[in-house]
Amino acid sequence: MSPSLFDCTFPYMQRRPSQNTPIEAGLADIGDNLQIPSLFDDASAASPPAATDATPPAAATNTNSETKTKRMASPAESHRGSLKEPHFLEVTDHRTGKTHMVPVEEDTIDAGIFAQLGLSIYDNGYLNTAVCRSSISYIDGDKGILRYRGYEIEDLAKHSSFLEVSYLLIFGDLPTREQLQVWETRVMRHTFIHENLVEYLKSFRYDAHPMGMVTSALSAMSTFHPEANTALQGEHIYEDETMVNKQIFRCLGKVPTLAACAYRHRIGRPYNTPSNELGYTENFLYMLDRLSENNYLPNAKLARALDVIFILHADHELNCSTAAMRQMTSTGVDPFICLSGAAAALYGPSHGGANEAALKMLEEIGSVENIPSFIEDVKAKKRRLMGFGHRVYKSYDPRAKILKNISEEVFAIMGRNNLIDIAVELERIALSDEYFIKRNLYPNVDFYSGIIYKAMGFPVCLDAKKPFPGFPTPFPTDFFPVLFCIARTSGWLAHWHEQLQNPIPIFRPKQAYEGPEPRKYVDISQRTELEKSPLDLQAKYLLRKNLPPMTDEELAKS
Ligand code: CMC
Whole-angstrom distance, CA of residue 319 vs CA of residue 345: 10
Ligand 1 atom nearest the C-alpha of 399 is 51
- pLDDT value of residue 156: 98
Q: How far is the CA of 399 from the centre of ligand 1 (A)?
A: 17
With beta carbons less than 8 A apart as the criterion, state whether 201 and 46 touch: no
Rounded (5°) CA angle 22-25-28: 90
Residue from 124, 382, 388 to probe ligand 1 pocket by mutation (most atoms less than 8 Å from CB) = 388
With beta carbons less than 8 A apart as the criterion, state whether 451 and 403 touch: no
Q: How far is the CA of 279 from the centre of ligand 1 (A)?
A: 37
- pLDDT value of residue 17: 34
Q: How far, in Å, are 47, 442, 540 from residue 401 at the CA level? A: 9, 11, 57
Q: What is the CATH number of domain 353-478?
A: 1.10.230.10
Whole-angstrom distance, CA of residue 140 vs CA of residue 153: 12
- pLDDT value of residue 443: 92
* Residue 123 is a catalytic residue: no
What residues flank ligand 1, with Cβ below 6 Å?
316, 319, 354, 378, 384-391, 439, 441, 444-446
Whole-angstrom distance, CA of residue 104 vs CA of residue 72: 11
Ligand 1 atom nearest the C-alpha of 319 is 52
With beta carbons less than 8 A apart as the criterion, state whether 196 and 51 touch: no
Helix (H) or strand (E) holding 102: strand 98-105
Catalytic residue among 446, 478, 495, 497: 446
Atom 41 in ligand 1: residue holding the nearest Cα = 386
User: What phi and psi values does residue 247 have, to the nearest 5 degrees?
Assistant: -70, -30
- pLDDT value of residue 546: 61
* Residue 446 is a catalytic residue: yes
**CATH fourth-level superfamily of 158-347+482-501:** Citrate Synthase, domain 1 (1.10.580.10)
138: helix, strand or coil: strand
Please state the domain extents for the chain: 88-123+130-150, 158-347+482-501, 353-478
Q: Tell me the one-letter amino acid at 456.
A: M
pLDDT in tens, the chain (558 residues): 333 322 333 222 333 333 333 323 222 222 222 233 333 333 333 333 333 333 323 333 333 333 333 333 333 333 344 445 678 999 999 999 999 999 998 889 999 888 888 999 999 999 999 999 999 999 999 999 999 999 999 999 999 999 999 999 999 999 999 999 999 999 999 999 999 999 999 999 998 999 999 999 999 999 999 999 999 999 999 999 999 999 999 999 999 999 999 999 988 999 999 999 999 999 999 999 899 988 899 999 999 999 999 999 999 999 999 999 999 999 999 999 999 999 999 998 788 878 888 888 998 999 999 999 999 999 999 999 999 999 889 999 999 999 999 998 888 888 887 888 999 999 999 999 999 999 999 999 989 998 898 888 743 333 334 444 334 445 567 888 999 999 999 999 999 999 999 999 999 999 999 999 999 999 988 887 655 566 666 665 566 556 666 777 777 766
Whole-angstrom distance, CA of residue 339 vs CA of residue 469: 38
With beta carbons less than 8 A apart as the criterion, state whether 317 and 391 touch: no
Residue from 359, 431, 441 to probe ligand 1 pocket by mutation (most atoms less than 8 Å from CB) = 441
Catalytic residue among 110, 351, 433, 536: 351
Whole-angstrom distance, CA of residue 59 vs CA of residue 204: 59
Q: How far is the CA of 390 from the centre of ligand 1 (A)?
A: 6
Q: How far, in Å, are 131, 274, 284, 550 from residue 252 at the CA level? A: 26, 13, 12, 55
